[in-house]
Amino acid sequence: MPAHYGGAAHRIFSSSSPVATQVLHAAGIALASKLRGESQVAAVMMGEGASNQGDVHEALNFAAIHRLPMVLLVENNGYAISVPAEKQVAVRDLAVRAAGYNMPGVIVDGTDVLSCYLAMRDAVARALAGEGPTFIEAKVTRLTGHSSDDQQTKYRTEEDLAAGRGHDPLPAFRDELRAAGLLDAAAEAAITAEVRGLVEDATDFAEAAADPDPATLTRHVYAEPG
């Protein structure tokens, strides 16, 4: 599936398809890190819809009890596919749930790059200091449908969609950098060209890659036959 990449070199685990299972994985990774005495933090992300899965409660409870070096970032975009937040959760701010685990619940404007950086920086410092996990809720807007199969105009009003437009963090951050005199047109063009090159190279690499051998289909799924 398109978003299910990982990268061992960058210590990025492959995303999980069943939503919220990754929070349990993160708690396990954070526990391993703590037991090994490594100075590492497990950062895990999910949506507000995923937050209602039982896995999240188990992971947060465990991480809080053992003061694990973990940061949970919930991207609250107000929708789980077509289900609006008010039909998923009885609270407006998911961060209030952190109190039930005796951990900080931080709300941040997820469309503001520097606010997100500061919230994550503080949470990582806390985790590294042995003070345990942090729950960050980033309020974001969903600019497009859930996927290319999804037509969000079928269940979102024009008013709702219009309110979200103009909250794309990338152009906003670009404008912030320009205003601060940190980005000029030449630097922006160079970054754009570099990123486009990286994406094109990765696309060429993927398209040229051989299909997986069907004989490997069940590898790492079932015990290998003796």
Phi, psi of 199 (to 5 degrees): -65, -40
Q: Which is nearer to ligand TPP, 75 or 109 (CB)?
A: 75
Within 10 angstroms of residue 174's Cβ, the number of other Cβ atoms is 15
Active site residue 66: no
155 is catalytic: yes
Kindly state the helix (H) or strand (E) to which residue 138 belongs, with its residue range.
Answer: strand 134-139
Q: Which range touches ligand TPP (CB under 6 A), out of 41-49, 95-103, 122-130, 169-177?
A: 41-49
Nearer to Mg ion (CB atom), residue 47 or residue 110: 47
Q: Is 47 in the site for ligand TPP (CB under 6 A)?
A: yes
Query: Quick one: CA dihedral 101, 50, 13, 221, positive or negative?
Result: positive
CA 165 – CA 145 distance, rounded (Å): 13
Choose the one of Mg ion, ligand TPP, none that binds residue 131, judging by a C-beta under 5 to 8 angstroms depending on kind.
none
Answer for which of 22, 77, 134, 141 binds Mg ion (CB under 5 A) is 77
For 46, 131, 177, the CA distances from 58, given in Å and listed in that order, are: 15, 19, 41
47 binds Mg ion (CB under 5 A): yes
Applying CB under 6 A, among 70, 80, 123, 136 the residue interacting with ligand TPP is: 80
Tokens 């469309």 belong to residue? 111
In eight-state DSSP terms, residue 220 is T
Catalytic residue among 66, 67, 155, 178: 155
Q: Residues with catalytic annotation?
A: 142, 146, 155
Binding positions for ligand TPP, rule: CB under 6 A:
17-19, 46-50, 53, 75, 77, 79-81, 146
